[in-house]
Amino acid sequence: MTNGFGAMLSAAVARHEPGVRVIAHGVPDRIVHAASRARQLAACGLDAEGIAARVRSVHGSEAMAR
């Protein structure tokens, strides 16, 4: 992730709500080659499964931090 929506919100929230973490999930900063759209989305973690997995890992690390 470079400069998308997540980056923008992250900066805004850090300014106003320092207690809240923003985690940006999107297309990684590398070239996405030809494949079906579904495969490309899955490879980027941008399908329901990928999003759920990201939530689980975020939740896990949050629980540890508590």
Partner 1 sequence: MLERIHSPADLRGLTSGDLQVVADDVRRRLIDVCSRTGGHIGAGLGVVELTVALHAIFETPHDQLVWDVGHQGYPHKVLTGRNQQMETIRQEGGLSGFLKRTESEYDAFGAGHAATSISAALGIAAARDLLGEAFKVVAVIGDGSLTSGLAYEALNNAGHSDRDIVVILNDNEMSIAPNVGAMSKYLNQVQRNPIYNRVRARIGELVEINRSLETLVRKWEESVKSFLTPGVLFEELGLRYFGPIDGHDMKALVETLSAVRPMTGPRLVHVVTRKGHGFPAGEHGEKWHALPPGHDPATGRQRTASSANPAYTAVFGRGLVDLMTERTDVVAITAAMPSGTGTGLVASAHPSRFFDVGIAEGHAVTFAAGLATRGLRPVVAIYSTFLQRAYDSIIHDVALQHLPVTFAMDRAGVVGEDGETHMGLYDIPYMLAVPNMVLAAPKDGTEMLALLRTAVSHDGPFAFRYPRDAAPDLVGPISEIPPVPVGTWEVLRQGREIAILAVGTMVRQAQQAAESLAIEGLDVTVVNCRFLKPYDEVTLHALCAHHRVLLTVEEGR
* Binding residues for partner 1 (CB under 8 A): 1-10, 12-13, 16-17, 19-29, 31-37, 39-41, 44, 46-49, 51-52, 54-56, 58-59, 62
**Minimum CB separation from partner 1 for residue 41, in Å?**
6
Non-local CB neighbours of 25 within 8 Å, separated by 6+ positions: 1, 6, 45, 46, 51, 54
| Min separation Cβ 29 and partner 1, Å | 6
| CB 61 to partner 1: min, Å | 9
| Neighbour-count burial of 38, counting CB atoms closer than 10 A to its CB (0-12 exposed, 13-18 middle, 19+ buried) | exposed
